[in-house]
Amino acid sequence: MPVLKIFTNLPRDKIPSNFVNRILPILSKVVRKPEENFVCMVSADCSLTFGGDSTAPGAVANLESIGHLGPSDNKIIAKEVTAFVDKELGIIGDRFLLTFYDLQAHNVAKNGLTIG
């Protein structure tokens, strides 16, 4: 169950209401997992600074997945997700930080059961 968490200093009213649904096809393509497996959340109005500038739009994101992450995969994912965030939220690439976490199945649970 891949999870994308985005934390941004944008106000909630600047985030399209369907943003989390519209990013799913991108995530599905680049992580190579079905859309229905993804969880995506956006937390707006966060206190955030990049190098002391807390006024310009910015975001920090984490992508967690069991597999399908690694050096070559992450380059593709970073490019696609950054482009989407820039286009949809107006957050330019140097104000968007994306980190990756390749999880082990026994460290993820849903419905009271671990995945592996």
Residues serving a catalytic function are 2
∠ at Cα 2 (112, 89), nearest 5°? 130
* Bridge partners for 102 per DSSP: 65
Name the region of 41 (left: φ>0; alpha: ψ -120 to 50; beta: rest): beta
Taking the C-alpha atoms of residue 96 and residue 91, their distance in angstroms, rounded to an integer, is 7
**28 in Cβ contact with 66 (< 8 Å):** no
Strands 109-110 and 59-65 turn out to be unpaired
